[in-house]
C-alpha cells in the first residue's frame, strides 16, 4: 500500500473547482476529486495552523492535547505527567505511528515543526525533510524535494508520504513569471459594490481591508501580489487574484508530482488524501487574507480521498472533524482505534457510501490564536461565541444561516434567540464531555485569556489604537480601550 497526503496550507474548499468555484484554480486536485470522495462539511476542530495540525497528529481536540494557540502555555502539547511510560502516548497514538503499526514507512516533507517549534509534529515519522524556510517556501522550492523522494522511493511498497505546500498562505508568493491567470475573470459575485463599500470603510479590525497586514497597511515589495490594504474593486482584485494564483501555482506543482508518480507506475494504485490545516477568510466578517476566527471561512477545509477500489465520484455532506481521519484510516487498515482519540470513523462512507457523519447533530470548532472563540456548526447554522475579540469588536454572540448567507454578512443572533440557546446547549454538552474525559481541570482557552489574550493580539493594543486615531477612527479606538481594560497599553 502507498499513501500520499497533501496538506495545502490555508486552502479554502470553495476556491477549488471541484467545490464549485467559477475559476479554474485546481485542475489536478479536481481530477482526484472525480476519482474519489469529496467531503463538503469537513472542519478543523482547532484553528489555526499549530492547533489544527496538533489535533490531527494527536487525534485529540485542543482542549485535550493543550494546544489551542500560538504562544504561551497553550503553545505546548500537554505532558503525559506521572502516567508517562518509557515512551509517551505519541508513540502509539500519533497519526504516523498508526501508519507505522500497519507496516508503512512514514516520510514527511514540511518545515512545520520548525515554524512553530512544534516538535511533537514529527512524532512517528521515519524520515523528515525540512524544506528550510519555516513556511515561507514557494512551491518551486518544495516540489524538487518531493520529486527527488518519489524518484528514490515511489516504486517501493508500503509507504506514507506527507507533503506540505504553503502557496495559499499569506504573503501570496507565486513567482512573477507565473503571470496573472485570472486577471480577466470575474471576482466572487457575493462581494457587491455595497459589500465592498462596507468592508473598505470598516471602523476597526485586524486584517480588514484597511489593515490587511494585521495592524497596519504596509505592503512588502517582495510580495507584490499581497497588498497591505485596498480601497476599491481594483484593489480587491489584487487580493483575490493573489490568493487564487497561489492555489493555481500550487496545483500546477501538484500536477508535476502526479506525473512523476505515473512515470513510476504507482499512480493508479495510490491512495491520495488532499486536505488543509484551515481555510482563509476572503471577506467573511470583513476579514481578508487571514485564518483568525472560528468561522466558516477559517475552519471549513477541503477533504478529498481517492482510495482505489473504494467509493468513486461521490460527495459526502455529513459533519466531520479533520481528526476523524485517524479512526477512519485505522478501520480501513484493520487496526483498532486508540482510546485517547476524539474522532469517529467515517470509513463506511468510503466503503459503502453511507454517511455516518449525518448522525452528528453538531460540531464545535475553536480559535484561540487571533481571537478566543468557540463555534457550533449545526443544521444550516453557525453560532459563534466570542470570549476575546482580538480587537475586532465582535458581538459576544453571532449566528449565521450558512445556507442563505455562506459568507457571514448578516448576524441573526438578536432575532433568533431560540437558535442561539440551542447552540449554547450543544456547546455546554460538548464542553462537559471534554472536561469530564481528561485528567486536567484546565480549559486552555481560559489559559490564553488569563495570560493576556490571543498571541497575535497580545501587546498590540497601544499601536493599534494610535493607528485608529491617526486614521480618523478614534471612536473605535476608545471602544477597544473600554472593552479591553486588562490589556493595558503596553507594546509587544
**Phi, psi dihedral angles at 36 (to 5 degrees):** -140, -145
Do 340 and 398 share a structural domain?
Answer: no
Q: Examine residue 167 and state whether it is found in any structural domain, yes or no.
A: yes
Do 377 and 353 share a structural domain?
Answer: no
Do 164 and 82 share a structural domain?
Answer: yes
Q: Taking each helix axis from N to C terminus, what angle separates 233-263 and 27-34, rounded to the nearest 10 degrees?
A: 60
Do 461 and 355 share a structural domain?
Answer: no
Task: Give per-residue pLDDT as tens, 71-129.
Answer: 999 999 999 999 999 999 999 999 999 999 999 999 999 999 999 999 999 999 999 99
Report the range of poorest mean pLDDT among 7-21, 81-95, 199-213, 476-490: 476-490
Q: Examine residue 101 and state whether it is found in any structural domain, yes or no.
A: yes
CATH code, domain carrying 270: 3.40.720.10
Helix (H) or strand (E) holding 255: helix 233-263
Task: Give per-residue pLDDT as tens, 250-301.
Answer: 999 999 999 999 999 999 999 999 999 999 999 999 999 999 999 999 999 9
Domain count across the chain: 2
Instruction: Look over the chain and give the mean of its residue pLDDT values, rounded to a whole number.
Output: 96
Q: Which of 321, 342, 361 is the last residue of a domain?
A: 361
Task: State yes or no: pLDDT of 183 exceeds 60.
Answer: yes
In this predicted structure, what is the pLDDT of residue 490? Answer: 44
In sequence order, which residues have a C-beta less than 8 Å from that of residue 221 and are 6 or more positions away?
Answer: none
DSSP of 280-293? -EESGGG-EEE--S
Do 314 and 395 share a structural domain?
Answer: no
Q: Examine residue 369 and state whether it is found in any structural domain, yes or no.
A: yes
Q: How far is CA 61 from the centre of its chain?
A: 14
Q: Find the mean pLDDT for residues 150-172.
A: 98
Do 229 and 165 share a structural domain?
Answer: yes
- What is the span of the domain harbouring residue 305? 2-361
Task: State yes or no: pLDDT of 491 exceeds 50.
Answer: no
Task: State yes or no: pLDDT of 358 exceeds 70.
Answer: no
Contact (CB, 8 A) for 370 and 456: yes
Do 257 and 141 share a structural domain?
Answer: yes
Task: State yes or no: pLDDT of 159 exceeds 60.
Answer: yes
Contact (CB, 8 A) for 333 and 95: no
Do 356 and 214 share a structural domain?
Answer: yes
Q: Looking at residue 221, what DSSP letter applies?
A: T
Task: Give CA–CA dist 268/35, Å, rounded.
Answer: 10
Q: Examine residue 492 and state whether it is found in any structural domain, yes or no.
A: no
Q: pTM surpassing 0.85?
A: yes
Do 424 and 302 share a structural domain?
Answer: no
CATH code, domain carrying 404: 3.30.1120.10
Task: Give per-residue pLDDT as tens, 376-400.
Answer: 999 999 999 999 999 999 999 999 9
Do 410 and 349 share a structural domain?
Answer: no
Do 215 and 101 share a structural domain?
Answer: yes
Report the range of poorest mean pLDDT among 107-116, 151-160, 217-226, 358-367: 358-367
Do 373 and 254 share a structural domain?
Answer: no
| β-pair partners for 314 | 37
Task: Give CA–CA dist 416/203, Å, rounded.
Answer: 26
Q: Taking each helix axis from N to C terminus, what angle separates 233-263 and 139-153, rounded to the nearest 10 degrees?
A: 10
- Range list of β-strands (E), 141-201: 159-165
Contact (CB, 8 A) for 136 and 110: no
Q: Examine residue 224 and state whether it is found in any structural domain, yes or no.
A: yes
Q: Which of 300, 328, 361 is the last residue of a domain?
A: 361
Q: Which of 304, 337, 361 is the last residue of a domain?
A: 361
In sequence order, which residues have a C-beta less than 8 Å from that of residue 32 and are 6 or more positions away?
Answer: 272, 274, 304, 306
Q: Examine residue 464 and state whether it is found in any structural domain, yes or no.
A: yes
Amino acid at each position: 500500500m502507498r499513501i500520499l497526503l497533501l496538506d495545502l496550507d490555508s486552502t479554502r474548499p470553495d476556491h477549488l473547482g471541484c467545490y464549485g468555484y467559477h475559476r479554474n484554480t485546481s485542475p489536478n486536485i479536481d481530477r482526484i476529486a472525480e476519482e474519489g470522495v469529496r467531503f463538503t462539511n469537513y472542519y478543523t476542530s482547532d484553528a489555526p495552523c499549530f492547533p489544527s495540525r496538533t489535533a490531527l497528529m494527536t487525534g485529540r481536540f485542543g482542549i485535550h492535547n493543550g494546544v489551542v494557540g500560538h504562544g504561551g502555555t497553550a503553545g505546548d502539547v500537554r505532558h503525559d505527567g506521572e502516567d508517562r511510560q518509557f515512551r509517551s502516548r505519541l508513540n502509539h497514538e500519533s497519526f504516523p505511528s498508526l501508519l507505522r503499526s500497519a507496516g508503512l514507512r512514514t516520510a514527511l516533507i514540511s518545515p512545520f515543526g520548525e515554524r512553530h517549534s512544534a516538535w511533537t509534529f514529527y512524532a512517528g515519522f521515519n524520515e523528515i525533510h525540512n524544506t528550510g524556510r519555516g513556511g515561507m517556501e514557494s512551491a518551486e522550492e518544495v516540489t524538487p524535494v518531493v520529486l527527488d523522494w518519489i524518484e528514490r522511493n515511489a516504486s517501493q511498497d508500503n509507504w506514507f508520504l506527507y507533503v506540505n505546500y504553503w502557496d495559499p498562505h499569506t504573503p501570496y508568493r507565486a513567482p512573477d513569471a507565473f503571470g496573472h491567470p485570472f486577471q480577466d475573470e470575474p471576482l466572487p459575485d457575493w462581494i457587491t459594490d455595497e459589500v465592498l463599500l462596507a468592508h473598505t470603510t470598516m471602523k476597526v479590525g485586524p486584517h480588514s481591508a484597511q489593515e490587511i497586514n494585521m495592524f497596519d497597511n504596509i505592503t512588502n515589495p517582495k510580495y507584490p501580489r499581497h497588498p497591505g490594504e485596498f480601497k476599491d474593486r481594483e484593489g480587491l482584485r489584487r487580493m483575490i487574484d493573489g490568493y487564487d494564483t497561489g492555489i493555481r501555482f500550487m496545483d500546477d506543482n501538484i500536477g508535476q508530482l502526479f506525473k512523476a508518480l505515473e512515470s513510476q507506475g504507482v499512480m493508479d494504485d495510490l491512495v491520495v488524501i488532499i486536505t488543509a490545516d484551515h481555510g482563509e477568510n476572503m471577506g467573511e466578517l470583513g476579514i481578508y487574507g487571514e485564518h483568525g476566527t472560528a468561522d466558516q471561512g477559517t475552519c471549513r477545509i477541503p477533504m478529498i480521498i481517492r482510495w482505489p477500489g473504494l467509493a468513486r465520484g461521490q460527495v459526502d455532506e455529513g459533519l466531520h472533524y479533520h481528526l476523524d481521519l485517524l479512526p477512519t484510516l485505522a478501520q480501513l487498515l484493520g487496526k483498532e482505534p486508540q482510546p485517547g482519540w476524539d474522532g469517529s470513523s467515517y470509513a463506511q462512507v468510503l466503503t459503502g457510501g453511507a454517511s455516518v457523519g449525518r448522525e452528528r447533530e453538531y460540531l464545535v470548532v475553536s480559535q484561540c490564536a487571533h481571537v478566543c472563540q468557540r463555534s457550533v456548526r449545526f443544521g444550516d447554522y453557525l453560532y459563534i461565541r466570542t470570549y476575546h475579540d482580538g480587537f475586532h469588536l465582535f458581538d459576544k454572540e453571532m449566528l449565521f444561516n450558512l445556507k442563505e448567507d455562506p459568507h457571514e454578512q448578516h448576524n441573526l443572533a438578536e432575532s433568533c434567540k431560540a437558535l442561539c440557546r440551542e447552540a449554547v446547549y450543544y456547546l455546554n454538552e460538548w464542553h462537559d464531555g471534554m472536561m469530564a474525559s481528561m485528567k486536567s481541570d484546565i480549559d486552555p482557552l481560559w489559559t490564553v485569556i488569563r495570560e493576556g489574550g490571543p498571541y497575535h493580539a497580545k501587546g498590540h493594543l497601544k499601536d493599534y489604537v494610535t493607528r485608529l486615531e491617526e486614521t480618523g477612527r478614534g471612536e473605535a479606538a476608545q471602544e477597544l480601550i473600554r472593552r479591553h481594560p486588562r490589556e493595558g497599553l503596553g507594546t509587544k
